[in-house]
Structure 1
Amino acid sequence: MSKSQGKKIAPIPMSSNLGVVELIDTYFTAYNSARLREACQLLSRDVFIPGVTVGVSLSGAMTPAGFGVSALAPLIRNGFIDWMISTGANLYHDMHYGLGFELFAGSPFLDDVKLRQEGTIRIYDIIFGYDVLLETDAFIRKILQAEPFQKRMGTAEFHYLLGKYVREVEKQLGVENSCLLATAYECGVPIYTSSPGDSSIGMNVAALALEGSQLVLDPAIDVNETAAIAYAAREGEGKSAAVIIGGGSPKNFLLQTQPQIHEVLGLEERGHDYFIQFTDARPDTGGLSGATPSEAVSWGKIDPDELPNTIVCYTDSTIALPLVTAYTLNQCPPRPLKRLYDQRPALLETLQRDYLAAKANPVVSAGGTEEVATYPCGTPIRK
Structure 2
Amino acid sequence: MSKGPVTEFIEKHFKHFNSAALVDAAKGYQEQLDKGNKMLVTLAGAMSTAEIGKSFAEMIRQDKVQFISCTGANLEEDVMNLVAHSHYERVPHYRDLTAQDEWDLLERGLNRVTDTCIPEEEAFRRIQKHIVKIWKDAEAAGERYFPHEYMYKLLLSGVMEEYYEIDLKDSWMYAAAEKNLPMVVPGWEDSTMGNIFASYVMKGELKASTMKSGIEYMGFIADWYMKNTDKGVGFFQIGGGIAGDFPICVVPMLYQDMEMHDIPFWSYFCQISDSTTSYGSYSGAVPNEKITWGKLDKDTPKFVIESDATIVAPLVFAYLLGW
What CA distance in whole angstroms lies between the structure 2 residues aligned with 1:161 and 1:216? 9
Partner of 1:86: 70
What CA distance in whole angstroms lies between the structure 2 residues aligned with 1:326 and 1:226? 27
Q: Which amino acid aligns with 2:9?
A: L
Partner of 1:206: 198
124, 129, 135: which one aligns with 1:133: 124
| Structure 1: 5+ residue stretches without partners | 1-17, 332-383
Relative CO higher for 1 or 2, CA cutoff 8 Å, sep ≥ 6?
Answer: 2
SS in 2 for 1:288: coil
Shift of 1:317: 0.6
Given that 2:22 and 2:312 are in contact with CA atoms closer than 8 Å, whether structure 1 keeps it comes out as: yes
What CA distance in whole angstroms lies between the structure 2 residues aligned with 1:52 and 1:79? 11
1:204–1:57 distance in 2 versus 1, CA, 3 Å: same
Given that 1:55 and 1:242 are in contact with CA atoms closer than 8 Å, whether structure 2 keeps it comes out as: yes
1:212–1:138 distance in 2 versus 1, CA, 3 Å: closer
Structure 1, residues 307-330: CA drift from partner, whole Å, max 9, x if none?
xx1101011110011111111101
Partner of 2:48: 63
8, 19, 32: which one aligns with 1:47: 32
Partner of 1:119: 109
1:254 maps onto 2:247 in alignment: yes
Shift of 1:173: 4.8
Partner of 1:348: none
1:149–1:75 distance in 2 versus 1, CA, 3 Å: farther
What CA distance in whole angstroms lies between the structure 1 residues aligned with 2:182 and 2:85? 25
Higher helix content, 1 or 2: 2
228, 232, 243: which one aligns with 1:239: 232
292, 300, 306: which one aligns with 1:314: 306
165, 185, 189: which one aligns with 2:154: 165
131, 146, 151: which one aligns with 2:137: 146
Q: CA RMSD in A?
A: 2.2
Shift of 1:290: 1.2
Given that 1:244 and 1:277 are in contact with CA atoms closer than 8 Å, whether structure 2 keeps it comes out as: yes
1:106–1:244 distance in 2 versus 1, CA, 3 Å: same
Q: Which has the larger radius of gyration?
A: 1
Given that 1:166 and 1:182 are in contact with CA atoms closer than 8 Å, whether structure 2 keeps it comes out as: yes
Structure 1 window deviating more from structure 2 (200-209 vs 132-141): it is 132-141
What CA distance in whole angstroms lies between the structure 1 residues aligned with 2:9 and 2:174? 32
Partner of 1:354: none
What CA distance in whole angstroms lies between the structure 1 residues aligned with 2:316 and 2:251? 26
Superposed counterparts of 1:196-345, under 5 Å: 196-209=188-201, 210-214=203-207, 215-235=210-230, 238-267=231-260, 268-306=262-300, 309-330=301-322
Structure 1, residues 223-274: CA drift from partner, whole Å, max 9, x if none?
1111122222222xx1110000000011111210101110111112431010
1:27 maps onto 2:18 in alignment: no
Q: TM-score, normalised by structure 2?
A: 0.87
What CA distance in whole angstroms lies between the structure 1 residues aligned with 2:141 and 2:245? 29
Given that 1:115 and 1:121 are in contact with CA atoms closer than 8 Å, whether structure 2 keeps it comes out as: yes
Aligned length: 306
Q: TM-score, normalised by structure 1?
A: 0.74
What CA distance in whole angstroms lies between the structure 1 residues aligned with 2:145 and 2:247? 15
What CA distance in whole angstroms lies between the structure 2 residues aligned with 1:29 and 1:316? 18
| Structure 2: 5+ residue stretches without partners | none
Q: Which amino acid aligns with 1:34?
A: A
What CA distance in whole angstroms lies between the structure 2 residues aligned with 1:190 and 1:87? 14
